[in-house]
A = this chain, B = another copy of it.
């Protein structure tokens, strides 16, 4: 008994929590109860004209149970499907019934045969992909057709059956609509709006988490098998942030398919509100989220860049991460508040950060590949010989242990930068002839400002010859270039947002702050 009591208590707690987190669910349930209650009052109508209504009240109940959906859009679309299905099936059945009666003694055969044929056609049609949204309509069509044929045949009152049924369905649909829209309506469009805003912020959180995790050398002791098989996991915020954005396709699509049914309302007071553009924004966000996913892949990977190397790029990587997340968050806020973008370029900072990262990479690219050359040799501690890489930087002298080769590096590091970083190549010498086949590559390439001068070309230095490098070091390059690719994809997202903000006539931000 105690156990049962405990289980019951648990259920009650869960139910209470669900209600607290989304009070609309409680309201909706109460609305449903109310609608059913109103319909069931039909049975108390006992006067003559209402007798049929009360007798067939089950149709009204059925309609309420089926049509009363969570969002207004879903209710309207189901109601429409039901109405259309009933009407067309009713018309067809009446016509068919006339025909069958003409057939005389073959009437039964014709009735049964027509049911087979209609069953076949309606079922076949609803399997056609583009007719999928009307699946419910086909079901109703089939049900109504069979019902009218069968019960009409039995009682001989085809017309009466059809009309009563239609009236009761209309009544049920009417009650559902009035109550569902009249009392605290729940809009699918609003849900879609919030979903997109939430996903923008989720991806921002994931991005920050990825960059910080990478820099802090976050490692999974054992990668959760949920991630390996791409299942939902609520524990890992980093993972759930982008997964939600990637995974919400079908949810968004069904919300849009409901939202288009909803009349203009509240903040969406506009005929033909561009709900489809929310899909576009969500799609563009997904395109960005895939890059965050690939960044996360760098953390999950078995191949890890040495932590010291990551520190060299810490500032730049972190800045890109922060600025990127800022852009996503700002877009999220803008969507939420339905504001247009400001006059400034929202991507300015993040592009700047990415360029900074790029130029840092350019300057330190030796860290990304041939740093091995400085210290190399078979390592007995690791079972198989793993190439080893160490980090050397003129600013942070991390390594206690100094070798001759490091001295060479330092020589190089201190001799060259004056040439590399000193002047931003305003002194361009005439360009040397370009090999013809390398030209088209640069057509589409983002051009980072060249930071080198021709002088450097002639500075010949003694350097280690080894170009051997390990996958582990390349992994840092991969992380950085995925991050840069992420930034490149942001443009696409911003474009999609701008299209939405124009089509949906979002407020101007200035206007908004004036109001406030």
Contacts and interface: CB of A to CB of B under 8 A. Distances in A.
Interface string A282-296: 111011001101100
A3 interface: no
A365 interface: yes
5 contacts: A61-B143, A304-B441, A379-B431, A445-B470, A463-B465
B383 A447 contact: yes
A492 interface: yes
Interface residues of A, number: 176
B228 A435 contact: no
A116 B36 contact: yes
A5 interface: no
The 5 closest A-B pairs by CB, nearest first: A229-B283, A378-B428, A33-B119, A385-B450, A33-B120
Given A366-B370, A425-B385, A303 B457 contact: no
A467 interface: yes
A416 interface: yes
Contact of A41 (B112, B149, B465): B112
Copies of this subunit: 2
A219 to B, nearest CB: 7
B477 A481 contact: yes
B376 A452 contact: yes
A329 B500 CA distance: 42
Given A150-B57, A461-B463, A365 B358 contact: no
Given A54-B154, A294-B294, A441-B304, A467 B366 contact: yes
Given A388-B434, A452-B376, A302 B480 contact: no
Dominant SS at the A interface?
helix
A303 B487 CA distance: 12
Contact of A431 (B57, B230, B380, B433): B380
A18 interface: yes
A54 to B, nearest CB: 6
Given A142-B36, A297-B290, A438-B389, A381 B431 contact: yes
A346 interface: no
Given A33-B118, A384-B448, 13 more contacts: A25-B124, A28-B127, A228-B492, A306-B441, A307-B441, A365-B469, A368-B474, A373-B457, A377-B432, A386-B447, A390-B435, A412-B465, A456-B468
A294 B366 contact: no
A142 B65 contact: yes
Interface in A345-374: 358, 361-366, 368-370, 373
Interface in A242-297: 246-247, 249-250, 279-280, 282-284, 286-287, 290-291, 293-294, 297
